[in-house]
Structure 1
Amino acid sequence: MTSLSQQLLRRKSTSAEAADDRGLKRSIGLFALTMIGVGGTIGTGIFYVLSDAVPIAGPAVIWSFVLGGAVAGVTALCYAELAGSVPVSGSTYSYAYATLGEAPAMGVAACLLLEYGVSTAGVAVGWSQYVNQLLFNLFGFRIPDALSNAPEQGGIINLPAVIVIVLCALLLLRGASESTRINAIMVMVKIAVLLFFVAVAFTGWNSDHFANFAPHGLQGVVAGAGLIFFSFIGLDAVATAGGEAKNPKRNLPLAIILALVIVITMYVIVALAALGAQESEKFEGQSAGLSAILESIIGSSWPGTVVAAGAVISIFSVTLVCLYGQTRVLFAMSRDGMVPPVFSKVNPRTLSPVPNTVIVMTVVAILAAFVPINFLLEMTSIGTLVAFLVVSVAVIILRRREPGIERGFRLPLHPLIPVLSILGCIWIITQLRPITIVVFVIWTAAVLVYYWFYGRKHSALARAASPDADIPYTSTIPQVDEGDR
């Protein structure tokens, strides 16, 4: 092996990973972790994306949710094993660093920057639509199109999307425990609102709406799954909290599995109720769709107002979780020397990465203000799919390389489940628009070029250890004593 290949493939020792999140406080328990998964998943995916996915798949979009859930499910089991083996912040990036090597980890980081940064912008754009619907129902006015749409959609700036991102950032600056507590409350509210929608929507059930079940065949079902796959991002978000989780080897795998079960159940029930209550042709271009469905059934605005209010709360929690995930991935990268030290600078009082949060808030707010949601959703989906694929590969590699490592959860039917996950991710990726794949490849190449000129030289492993072996890395982030907390 050449010296260059040794540099590109140097790996962090899994035995040292647990000590790498110094400066972060382990304050998040099992319930809060599960709510991170549910809160980061149930949101724009069901409140908004039906208007984009139903025209593609027809009523068979139900199978799109099932297909996406199946791929996410087998991948979630892979996440559960890795989260119980390498319980640190950074999620897929950290897993790739410990199994595939430094350069592949940077490629994964490119996926995560799309998965979290772009999805935060995407869900914030969806939030603005429900804010408009709520304002109209309550007060009879809407925010002007010029201030609630991207330039490509005839506006100037999406101001509500910017506002929700700023509010979420301010909450994160108060600390992880406060943020997760508020997120858990919002998750319970959103589940209650969705169950309310289901109860009302089933009163307008019409089986004729399923007559032309799959107008575009299997291709439409798979294309729909590719579009909505971004909504399963919350499963990865649980793993980003590895550095702040209590008893991470036990709680991280449990939280991922519990979140998966809750999410898939809610998605399928809500999609079924929505399609039973409204013809599939009416979904296309429909703004704040769930609210509109209830208003049509009841003939009054109050049920739609309830759903719109629930959506505002729901999508706020998704934005919060995605923004949190992005900051923790960058924290892990900074800890490893891959991005500048400012991203791992922690406030001694709140134990939150303040400069990191402010920088992410600014960049994501710009995206949300000026880029339309459909492009944001597809870029998020491909980033999520590639990250999920890498997790599945990492499980196989870690099983072979370190079979005796302590695992909080052991994946059943190995290697069948990770292989199914890999094939499912590849299948859905091939159904995305070519322009989405091209932009993704260009973006990943740009991140790897950045790694070549900065990350490779500033890597903590490059400074602290020989590239010939996996030598544990000791973080330079100062340890905070319990008495100072």
Structure 2
Amino acid sequence: MSSILRRLPPSAATGLRTGARHSLAEVYRPADLVVLGLGVMIGAGIFSVAGRQAATAAGPGVILSFMIAGIACLLACLCYAELSSTIPASGSAYTFTYVIFGEVWAWVIGWALILELQLAAAVVARAWGEIAVGALANAGVRLSAPGLAADLLVLAILVPLTGVVALSARVGLRALWVMVAAKLLAIGAVIVVGLPHVDARNFGDFHVPPETLTTAPATVLEIVVGESHAFGWFGIFSAASAIAFAYIGFDVVATAAEETVNAPRAVPKGMIRSLVLATVVYVAVALVMVGMVSYTKISVDAPLASAFRAAGEGWMAHVIDAGALLGLTTVILVLIVGQTRVLFSMARDGLIPRGLAAVSRRYHTPSRVTLVIGGVAIVLAEFVPVLTLQELVVLGTLFAFGFVAAGVIVMRRRMPHLERGFRVPLSPVVPALSLVATFWLMVNLRLLTWVWFALWMAFGLAVYLAYGRRHSVLARPAAPVPVRSGGRHRR
């Protein structure tokens, strides 16, 4: 019972209790955080998600779906911005929850973040391998064993990226800048080349008459309603839930708070700016996609590439392949960084083995936990059908979104004295709206996803009761175990 009630003091979360909270080097500037956000939010989905959702769920109204999803994520982003400006620590939502709600709830959120980030890294790496095989085929390279080639390519991307994150945050950051710039150039080419082929008639009135589907209800909302729908306003909002997967990732920026110069002000700006820019880019590509070809003629498998081929610009398929691979590479890199920082914080608090919180004296990074994360991602991507589990990534993320939104309301009441570098406007209205939007996105996920998520969380609670509750540093406040650290390293 005591573990449910005990909370991490705000001063401990930000490093005033021990030096352990200040063991990571300050690497990030405000512009770096924007690149970090764009690196994880803009992946291969930008070239496919608009066409796929237009063809199957929303029609030309998919543009409205992108705006709705962007607004829902912006509400959550504002809540993250306030808490990260108040508690600028590596654990992001995990640490926020530890301070506001208590240890057991922090464990729940940390366990959900492990699911989100670890599974996401494996999903994206697997997708990278599949897309790379397709890109080679488009370039005329014939592979006798494409399945084996995809497996080898997964290794070829995860091993070096894990090494980069483990050895040097600065090298990883420089590589991220280069790759984000390159993929934005590819996206710019898509927009510039595609715009002359846009036909306004393809937009219609952004609303397609709704259809009742013959398939059995699968999402929680469909089961409650009793039938499945596509198109119409139901389809537009349903597509927004699927599209939210594209925006997920801005929360990873908050995990870099401990390594950011002037974090209370820089982190909120970095998160909000990167999300707004990502939304603008996604909407721009969606306008081109839907405008180039009628939603009834969109190829679900390769929507954007097929649209360019129909317009006589087949060479753009190679640009799209290159942009997709660059996009997924940066996503994997940032996901590994985010997962490393969450596990680092949990280990530092004793909820998982504290040896994982060791910081390399030579490289000034939590290299040990990074190698563990990379190894697990390789196993998952190679031996588990992770592409069928990507909704679990969304549910784990949305679960954290809900706690963060509630955390803003509770912290304003319990800890009004804490200094905040950013304040959510119109609180508690905006956090409440974020809770509603998050709930809507969650009920649009499949019931089977909820079942798997419940099983994962039940297993996590058992792990906490068996290990974390007894090894927590708050269980032994008089004699915390020191964390090996290379000290605080500044630029």
Give the letter aligned to residue 473 of structure 2: A
> What is the DSSP-based 3-state SS (H/G/I as helix, E as strand, rest coil) of the residue aligned with 2:75?
helix
Residue 240 of structure 1 corresponds to which residue in structure 2? 255
1:265-323 CA distance string (max 9 Å, x none): 01111111111123334555414x4334323323433x221221122111100110011
Give the letter for the 1:102 counterpart: E
Any idea what SS the aligned residue of 2:365 has? Answer: coil
| Residue number among 7, 11, 15 corresponding to 2:7 in the alignment | 11
Correspondence for 1:269: 284
Q: Could you tell me how far apart the structure 2 residues matched to 1:463 and 1:189 are?
A: 50
Contact map agreement 1:169 1:361 (CA 8 A) in 2: yes
Moved more, 271-280 or 202-211: 202-211
Whether 1:391 and 2:404 are equivalent positions in the alignment is: yes
Pairing partner for 2:328 from 301, 309, 315: 315
* Per-residue deviation, residues 416-440 of structure 1 (Å, max 9, x unmatched): 1100000000011111111011111
Secondary structure of the corresponding residue to residue 163 of structure 1: helix
Q: State the partner residue of 2:444.
A: 431
1:186 corresponds to 2:179:
yes
Aligned equivalents of 2:383, 2:309: Cα separation in 1: 31
* Equivalence for 1:96: 97
| Greater mean deviation of Cα atoms: 119-128 or 105-114 | 119-128
- Residues 96-149 of structure 1: CA distance to partner in whole angstroms, max 9, x if unpaired? 00101111111111221122111112222332243223323334335744226x
Contact kept? 1:27, 1:244, Cα under 8 Å: yes
Match of 1:165 in 2: 158
State which drifts further: 278-287 or 106-115.
278-287
Distance 2:108 2:52 in 1: 29
| One-letter amino acid matched to 1:190 | K
TM-score (norm 2): 0.89
CA gap of 1:477–1:299, structure 2 versus 1, over 3 A, is same
Alignment partner, residue 154 of structure 1: none
1:400 and 2:401 are equivalent in the alignment: no
Matched residue SS, 1:298? coil
Matches within 5 A, 1:58-97: 58-97=59-98
- Correspondence 1:454 to 2:460: no
Q: 1:474 to 1:267 in 2, by over 3 A?
A: farther
User: Of 292, 295, 312, which residue of structure 2 is paired with 1:298?
Assistant: 312
Matched, 1:328 2:341: yes
In structure 2, what residue type is equivalent to 1:91?
A: S
Paired position in structure 1 for 2:430: 417
Query: How far did 1:242 drift?
Result: 1.3
Counterparts of 1:369 and 1:57 in 2: how far apart (Å)?
Answer: 34
Q: What is the distance in 2 between the residues matched to 1:439 and 1:273?
A: 37
Alignment root-mean-square deviation, CA: 2.2
Q: C-alpha displacement at 1:371, in angstroms?
A: 4.1
Does structure 1 conserve the Cα–Cα contact (< 8 Å) formed by 2:51 and 2:286? no
1:22 and 1:480 in contact (8 A); partners too: no
How many angstroms apart in 1 are the aligned matches of 2:388 and 2:489?
A: 48
Which residue is 2:486 aligned to? 480
Look up the SS of the partner of 2:37 in the other structure.
Answer: helix
Distance 1:290 1:475 in 2: 54
Which structure 1 segments of 5+ residues have no match? 149-156, 466-472
Inter-partner Cα distance in structure 2 for 1:109 and 1:325? 12
Aligned residue type for 1:61:
V
- Structure 1 residue 161: Cα displacement: 3.0
Residues in 2 aligned to 1:75 and 1:429: alpha-carbon distance in whole angstroms: 14
Secondary structure of the 2:261 match is coil
Partners of 1:18 and 1:462 in 2: how far apart?
19
1:469 — aligned with what?
none
Query: Quick one: distance in 2 between partners of 1:46 and 1:187?
Result: 14
Of the three residues 360, 376, 390, the one matched with 1:347 is 360
Give the % identical residues: 34
Distance 1:143 1:37 in 2: 38
Aligned CA distance change for structure 1 residues 99 and 51 (closer, same or farther; 3 Å):
same
Matched residue SS, 1:173: helix
3-state secondary structure, aligned to 1:26? coil
Cα pair 2:351 2:472 within 8 Å, conserved: yes
Change (3 A) 1:482 1:93: closer
Change (3 A) 1:295 1:243: same
Matched with 1:369 is: 382
Give, in whole Å, the separation in 2 of the partners of 1:143 and 1:447. 42
Q: Residue 249 of structure 1 aligns with which residue?
A: 264
Unpaired runs of at least 5, structure 2: 211-229
CA contact (8 A) 2:27 2:259 kept: yes
Whichever residue aligns with residue 233 of structure 2, its letter is: L
Corresponding residue to 1:228 among 221, 228, 243? 243
TM-score normalised to the size of structure 1? 0.90
Contact conserved, 1:56 with 1:220, CA < 8 A, in 2?
yes
**Matches of residues 47-66 of structure 1 in structure 2 within 5 Å?**
47-50=47-50, 52-54=52-54, 55-66=56-67
Deviation at 1:344, TM superposition (A): 1.0
* Equivalent residue number for residue 134 of structure 2: 133
* Aligned counterparts of 1:111 and 1:219: Cα–Cα separation in 2: 28
Letter in 1 for 2:96: Y
Moved more, 224-233 or 70-79: 224-233
